[in-house]
Amino acid sequence: MARTPHGAVRGRYERGIAVFRGIPYAAPPFGPLRFRPPEPPEPWAGVRDAGAFGPTVPKPPYSEAFAQYLSDPVVPGDDCLNLNVWTPEPGPGARLPVLVWLHGGALTRGSSAVPVYDGSAFARDGVVCVSVNYRLGVEGYGLFPDAPPNPGLRDQLAALLWVYESIEAFGGDPGRITLCGQSAGAISAGVLLAAPRTQGLIRRAVLQSGAPEVLDREKVRRMVRRMAARLKIPATAEAFAAVDRELLLRTQAEAGRLSSPVLGGPAFGIVVDGDLVPGDPLKALTEGAAARDAELLLGWTRDEYRLWLVPGGLLERVDRLGAVALAGAMARCHAGHDVPRGYRTLRPGAGTAEIVGQMVTDHLLRVPLHRLADARPGASYVYEFAWPSGLPGLGACHALELGFVFGTGDAPESKKLAGEDAPQELCDAMHAAWVRFVTTGDPGWAAWDARRPVRIFDDGGPGLAYGPRDAEVALWTAAPGLPEPPHTAVPRAPGAELAAAMRRLRRSVGALRR
């Protein structure tokens, strides 16, 4: 049993680990609290059972093409702003390091109940692990004239404050909190790290396949307007709150089909709000005083884009579109012709899909994470996950490293993405590095400096490389004007033809999620 500010909870011992699931950190975000910032939960009398995962937030299911690789369980109920705790030693006095996990899913899918995120291995190694549910999609990141922005991010802040105030009762040290996330969870962790209201709460941060960013407000408004047009209602929080919840989810899924990490389009995301997010978080972390002493662990997978393009045969479709797809990627990344020419020079045998995928990966992830590591006075550690999935075509794709980080590679949900026979030695090495970082601030390899050391996690065990992505990053920062190989000119499509082809391509990749 453990006591929280709102009441006592009783968990379960599972293989020597105390597990508490479904603990409310905020009130159900419905009724008068719909689209509003989180409020504290109602206190409860007696001891609340915390043996099962709590309700998950409203979200549409993955498309069939993605569901074969990614699991996303649904637990019904309104009390969805809850969290889970795995601890080896409940009760005050242990003062163990704490990892707070923010799941990915493009801010539209995912939950803390995904079995890949089981925190038992961290607890066995002396780390208190906390995983969090937060509002998603239009409920968490819709932008309305009659409601505050970023309620999903505010949920995450409320959960972080709960951890700071409550974690001693579960054996954790509130002065040793590491905020960790992957994909959209990493973006969120980076934004929170930069937020003035979190200063002093976060000791360290892990950003896996996501860099701090905010979206243009108009881009988010366009997504809301798309939904409103389909529903034939005003684009206001009041009108959206009156819509049946299941209909709202179906409409959100339909409106989001034309958006993707590869070609952009309207999407839900974090926006500058003048309050929790006063400005560009990447700029705050690289140029300001935000969390300057926090140690950072930053990284990506070698073939991030393959999870975006392989499901449903989209890789082949992008290859067939050729120049049009390349022009779309250039527009998506605001890149001139020197950039794709440089990639062709570096990868002379690559198809269009690989060039497009690597360009978008570098633009979204590697370039800003390099910039973050370069600018930080505190220690930064950089990794690349390079082990290829056993499933055809996926390579070392987005989200593949998660089973290795959590030590859950044997779970069926991890095997959906990794296949059978993931190397246990690699799993042990990667999980141990995260444990060391959360515990000491040093994952076990050289900190980032002018040599740009990157830990490569691959089949033969982890090794260290120096500047392995420097050539690609230089294409974005120096515009070197590399010589154009004879066969690599980037054709220009006529405006009307390009626009029509881009619409066809967006329809093809509509199910993609970062």
- Picking from 282, 297, 289, the residue whose alpha carbon sits closest to that of residue 191 is 282
How many CB atoms neighbour CB 51 within 10 A? Answer: 13
Q: Which residues contact 104 (CB under 8 A, 6 or more apart)?
A: 110, 181, 182, 183, 184, 185, 186, 209, 210, 399, 514
**What is the mean pLDDT of the segment spanning 389-406?**
97
Query: How many angstroms separate the CA atoms of 120 and 459, rounded?
Result: 24
Q: Which residues contact 105 (CB under 8 A, 6 or more apart)?
A: 59, 72, 136, 183, 184, 185, 513
If you compute the radius of gyration of the chain from its CA atoms, what whole number of angstroms results?
22
What letter does residue 204 receive in the DSSP assignment?
A: E
pLDDT at 403: 98
Q: Which residues contact 274 (CB under 8 A, 6 or more apart)?
A: none
- Picking from 126, 148, 142, 162, the residue whose alpha carbon sits closest to that of residue 58 is 142
Residue 163 pLDDT more than 80?
yes
Report the share of the chain in percent with pLDDT over 70. Answer: 91
Kindly tell me the burial class for residue 438, based on how many C-beta atoms sit within 10 Å of its own C-beta (0-12, 13-18, 19 or more): buried
- Which residue among the candidates 304, 354, 401, 413 is catalytic per the annotation? 304
For the stretch 258-285, pLDDT in tens is 677 766 677 899 999 999 999 999 999 9
What letter does residue 111 receive in the DSSP assignment?
A: -
Query: How many angstroms separate the CA atoms of 431 and 426, rounded?
Result: 8
**What is the mean pLDDT of the segment spanning 160-184?**
98
Buried b (16+ CB within 10 A) or exposed e, 156-170: bbbbbbbbbebbbbb
CA angle in degrees (0–180, nearest 5) for 135-83-158: 60
**What is the mean pLDDT of the segment spanning 443-449?**
97
pLDDT band at 316 (very low <50, low <70, confident <90, very high): confident
Strand, helix or coil for residue 131:
strand
User: Do residues 80 and 110 touch, judged by C-beta distance below 8 A?
Assistant: no
pLDDT band at 187 (very low <50, low <70, confident <90, very high): very high
User: Do residues 495 and 425 touch, judged by C-beta distance below 8 A?
Assistant: no
Is 166 annotated in the active site? no
Query: How many angstroms separate the CA atoms of 151 and 134, rounded?
Result: 9
Return the beta strands (E) in 25-95 as ranges: 47-49, 82-87
- The single-letter code of the amino acid at 283 is K
Lowest mean pLDDT among 85-89, 267-271, 322-326: 322-326
Handedness of CA 290, 291, 295, 297 (dihedral sign): negative
Domains of the chain: 2-311+379-480 (3.40.50.1820)
CA 191 and chain centroid, separation: 12
Report the share of the chain in percent with pLDDT over 90. Answer: 80
- Which residue among the candidates 71, 111, 131, 183 is catalytic per the annotation? 183
- The single-letter code of the amino acid at 309 is L
Residue bearing tokens 């220690």: 379
State both tokens at 181.
Answer: 């996330």
For the stretch 197-233, pLDDT in tens is 999 999 999 999 999 999 999 999 999 999 999 999 9
Is 165 annotated in the active site? no
Handedness of CA 308, 313, 316, 322 (dihedral sign): negative
Query: How many angstroms separate the CA atoms of 38 and 49, rounded?
Result: 23
Query: How many angstroms separate the CA atoms of 189 and 100, rounded?
Result: 10
Return the beta strands (E) in 398-470 as ranges: 453-457, 463-466
Q: Which residues contact 21 (CB under 8 A, 6 or more apart)?
A: 11, 50, 51, 52, 53, 54, 84
Q: Which residues pair with 205 in a beta bridge?
A: 179, 296
What letter does residue 375 receive in the DSSP assignment?
A: H
pLDDT band at 438 (very low <50, low <70, confident <90, very high): very high
**What is the mean pLDDT of the segment spanning 440-444?**
98
- Which residue among the candidates 6, 103, 398, 431 is catalytic per the annotation? 398
Residue 368 pLDDT more than 90?
yes
Chain length of the chain:
514
Strands 96-102 and 172-182: parallel
**What is the mean pLDDT of the segment spanning 140-144?**
97
**What is the mean pLDDT of the segment spanning 51-64?**
96
Per-residue 3-state assignment (H helix, E strand, C coil) for 208-229: ECCCCCCCCHHHHHHHHHHHHH
What letter does residue 264 receive in the DSSP assignment?
A: B
pLDDT at 258: 67
CA 18 and chain centroid, separation: 27
Strands 47-49 and 17-24: unpaired
Query: How many angstroms separate the CA atoms of 433 and 116, rounded?
Result: 18
User: Do residues 67 and 152 touch, judged by C-beta distance below 8 A?
Assistant: no
CA angle in degrees (0–180, nearest 5) for 464-466-469: 110
**What is the mean pLDDT of the segment spanning 94-111?**
97
Q: DSSP letters along 160-180, please?
A: HHHHHHHGGGGTEEEEEEEEE
Kindly tell me the burial class for residue 13, based on how many C-beta atoms sit within 10 Å of its own C-beta (0-12, 13-18, 19 or more): exposed
Is 183 annotated in the active site? yes
